């Protein structure tokens, strides 16, 4: 059916409209569009599976410790052992969660955020944005918000949720020392979220096709993580700094050591592999994040200045 | 005043896209005419603040566009040339999104988007993704996106390029309705003279980064002279042509073998033609004032600039 030009008149809008915060519609629309893709739903499923798996592991570990406790008759010595066991297990699982979830979130981000800048350039949408009363800052904030909400929802919030889940099931004596795990873990999850957000947007600012950017991003992250995990074992200790999850783990460990009581440190029997220098690990994380944000700023300045 | 530019220049490397552009123009619909590469799109992008001019003063709707591009864009609607779109969004979502980016609350933006899509005549297809649209539908969506926040000036960059005659006609009708109704003023950039002739009351003619003419269309046609006549007759037309040329008028043969086109020298009236015909024994059966077409005016304005 052919469309017709109707005799609808033009209506003026009332005067005095208040200004609204433009980044939110940008972020919301980007996330809505991403959600329409099947690959995004798969990515969300992957992240959800990881959260579920770690939740189940926590439940199994905590309940197993408590079951052993009940079986031993509840003596005071045994209760202390149970508390130590619970804290050690929760620490191991949560530390593992941050590392695994970083990779799972990178997969999801490749689907959601790899095209945020690249596709805008390819389709000419950038001109569409900047012919509206938008500033570069509004645009950047919108894109950062869209990309940042993903790791916030898959990494930071689930970490808090898992901690609460573990704390809810743990014996009363374990909750206090477990508080010492929350803040360092939260710091690690937040750093990982910032790092992933900055790097995916930096990659997107370099490319012109979302899919290509996403593939390169995930492959790059996997290669770095793999090199950073394997090479230090064969004597190349410097290679550990190539792995973003290992650097994040190093910072988390340092925060744990700095802010925890002696009791908590005594019961943490096993620690995930980390790099020797916290300073270098921090510099690597900061440098990578700054590089991503710098590329993003450079691209937007270049595009809009024409 | 829609646009007031004084000495605006913009270079891209060695290319002077705008070369000391100075123009002041108002009205309800203004055509921005010029051949490809004349600087029309650059002028629009400078007005929007998408490009910063190297020098010159620039006021759009009375606002200094260099100092406050955000305020200018709030009052401007711009439909760029080319397939600018956000893939995945439907036509309705695209228009509502454009409204939200201009500060409309979400609900208002959706209602306004429906209104604008009704206005531009995109009915059935508004729920379909924009990448499935034809060129004509796409142009309509772009105009609706440019209109959604109720701008005071609508800038259209080559809106009829690539359209079939029917869609082009409907789009021009829409521009005329906006011009004659309560809609925003329109700045129509095109190289199609007919589009400007049909929709605009004023025009800016650009060539090689410079403005050759800016003002009302009628004035342009008048400036180039309405003292041309097309003569048709029989007998000694060659002698008549020589006599008129000898008297200082410009004479050329017309499209037919029995016609002449005469442009009288200033101050002379049509009586000079009749006198010459009588003197040469020619019998004229048509002496018709030849109205200057926009195409002639455009070519003359561009040629004038080229000779400068």
List, for residues B123-161, the tens digit of each pLDDT value.
888 999 998 998 889 999 999 999 999 999 999 999 988
Amino acid A116: pLDDT:
95
Residues of chain A with Cβ-Cβ distance to B97 below 8 Å are 25, 29
Mutate to test the interface with B, among A8, A31, A128 (most CBs of B within 10 A): A128
Contact between A144 and A194 under an 8 Å Cβ cutoff? The reply is: no
- Long-range CB contacts for residues B197-200, cutoff 8 Å, separation at least 24: B197/B294, B198/B172, B199/B29, B199/B31, B199/B172, B199/B175, B200/B27, B200/B29, B200/B30, B200/B31
Amino acid B258: pLDDT:
86
Amino acid B94: pLDDT:
95
Q: Who has greater pLDDT, B306 or A172?
A: A172
For A239, B112, B146, B163, B164, the CA distances from B79, given in Å and listed in that order, are 52, 17, 6, 15, 19
10-residue averages of pLDDT along chain A (306 residues): 58 79 94 95 96 94 74 56 79 92 96 95 89 91 97 97 92 81 93 97 94 96 93 88 94 83 64 86 96 95 73
Which residue of B lies nearest to A20 if distances are taken between CA atoms? B103
- Nearest by CB to residue B101, choosing from A11, A124, A134, is A134
Q: Does B156 touch chain A (CB under 8 A)?
A: no
Region B27-55 average pLDDT: 90
Which residue of A lies nearest to B88 if distances are taken between CA atoms? A33
For A258, B79, B109, B158, B169, the CA distances from B139, given in Å and listed in that order, are 62, 8, 19, 10, 13
- Band (B266; pLDDT cuts 50, 70, 90): confident
Nearest-10 crossing angle of helices A136-151, A76-112:
140
Q: First CA to last CA across chain B, in angstroms?
A: 29
Residues of chain B with Cβ-Cβ distance to A129 below 8 Å are 101
- Band (B304; pLDDT cuts 50, 70, 90): low
- Band (B305; pLDDT cuts 50, 70, 90): low
CA of B22 to nearest chain A CA: how many angstroms apart?
A: 22
Tell me, what's the ipTM? Answer: 0.86
Beta bridge partners of B60: B3, B63
Residues of chain A with Cβ-Cβ distance to B122 below 8 Å are 3
Dihedral sign, Cα of residue A75, residue A77, residue A80, residue A84: negative
- Whole-number mean pLDDT of chain B? 87
Amino acid A289: pLDDT:
97
Mapping DSSP to helix (H, G, I), strand (E, B) and coil, where does residue B262 land?
Answer: strand
Q: CB B73 to CB A17 under 8 A?
A: no
Task: Note the pTM of the prediction, 2 decimals.
Answer: 0.83
Amino acid A306: pLDDT:
44
């Amino acid at each position: 059916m052919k469309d017709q030009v109707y005799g609808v008149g033009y209506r003026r809008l009332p005067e005095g409209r208040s200004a609204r915060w433009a980044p939110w519609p940008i972020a919301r629309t980007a996330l809505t569009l991403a959600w329409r893709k099947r690959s995004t739903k798969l990515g969300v499923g992957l992240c959800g599976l990881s959260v579920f798996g770690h939740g189940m592991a926590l439940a199994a570990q905590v309940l197993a410790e408590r079951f052993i406790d009940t079986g031993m008759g509840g003596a005071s010595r045994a209760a202390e052992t149970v508390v130590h066991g619970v804290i050690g297990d929760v620490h191991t699982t949560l530390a593992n969660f941050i590392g695994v979830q970083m990779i799972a979130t990178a997969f999801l981000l490749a689907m959601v955020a790899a095209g945020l800048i690249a596709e805008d350039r390819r389709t000419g949408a950038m001109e569409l944005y900047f012919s509206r009363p938008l500033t570069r800052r509004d645009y950047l904030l919108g894109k950062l918000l869209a990309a940042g909400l993903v790791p916030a929802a898959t990494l930071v919030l689930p970490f808090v949720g898992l901690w609460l889940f573990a704390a809810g099931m743990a014996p009363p004596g374990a909750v206090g020392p477990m508080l010492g795990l929350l803040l360092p873990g939260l710091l690690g999850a937040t750093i990982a979220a910032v790092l992933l957000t900055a790097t995916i947007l930096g990659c997107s600012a370099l490319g012109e096709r979302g899919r290509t950017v996403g593939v390169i991003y995930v492959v790059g992250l996997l290669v770095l993580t793999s090199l950073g995990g394997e090479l230090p074992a064969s004597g190349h200790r410097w290679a550990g700094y190539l792995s973003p999850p290992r650097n994040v783990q190093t910072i988390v460990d340092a925060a744990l050591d700095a802010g925890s009581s002696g009791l908590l440190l005594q019961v943490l029997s096993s620690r995930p592999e980390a790099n020797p220098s916290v300073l270098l690990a921090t510099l690597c994380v900061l440098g990578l994040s700054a590089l991503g944000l710098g590329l993003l700023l450079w691209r937007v300045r270049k595009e809009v200045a024409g | 005043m829609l646009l007031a530019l004084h000495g605006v220049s913009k270079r891209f490397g060695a290319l002077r896209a705008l070369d000391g552009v100075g123009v002041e123009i108002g009205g309800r619909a203004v055509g921005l005419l010029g051949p490809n590469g004349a600087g029309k799109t650059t002028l629009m992008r400078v007005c929007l603040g998408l490009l910063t001019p190297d020098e010159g003063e620039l006021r759009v709707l009375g606002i200094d566009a260099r100092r406050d591009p955000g305020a200018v864009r709030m009052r401007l609607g711009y439909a760029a040339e080319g397939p600018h779109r956000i893939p995945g969004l439907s036509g309705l979502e695209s228009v509502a999104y454009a409204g939200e980016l201009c500060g409309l609350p979400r609900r208002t933006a959706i209602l306004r988007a429906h209104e604008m899509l009704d206005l531009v005549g995109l009915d059935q297809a508004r729920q379909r993704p924009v990448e499935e649209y034809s060129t004509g539908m796409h142009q309509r969506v772009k105009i609706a996106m440019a209109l959604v926040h109720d701008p005071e000036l609508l800038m259209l960059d080559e809106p009829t390029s690539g359209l079939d005659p029917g869609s082009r006609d409907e789009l021009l009708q829409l521009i005329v309705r906006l011009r004659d109704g309560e809609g925003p003023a329109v700045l129509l950039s095109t190289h199609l003279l007919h589009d400007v002739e049909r929709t605009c009351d004023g025009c800016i003619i650009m060539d090689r980064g410079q403005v050759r003419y800016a003002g009302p269309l009628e004035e342009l046609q008048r400036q180039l002279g309405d003292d041309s006549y097309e003569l048709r007759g029989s007998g000694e037309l060659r002698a008549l042509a020589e006599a008129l040329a000898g008297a200082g008028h410009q004479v050329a043969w017309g499209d037919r073998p029995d016609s002449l086109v005469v442009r009288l020298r200033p101050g002379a009236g049509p009586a000079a033609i009749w006198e010459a015909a009588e003197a040469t024994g020619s019998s004229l059966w048509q002496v018709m004032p030849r109205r200057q077409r926009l195409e002639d005016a455009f070519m003359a304005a561009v040629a004038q600039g080229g000779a400068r």
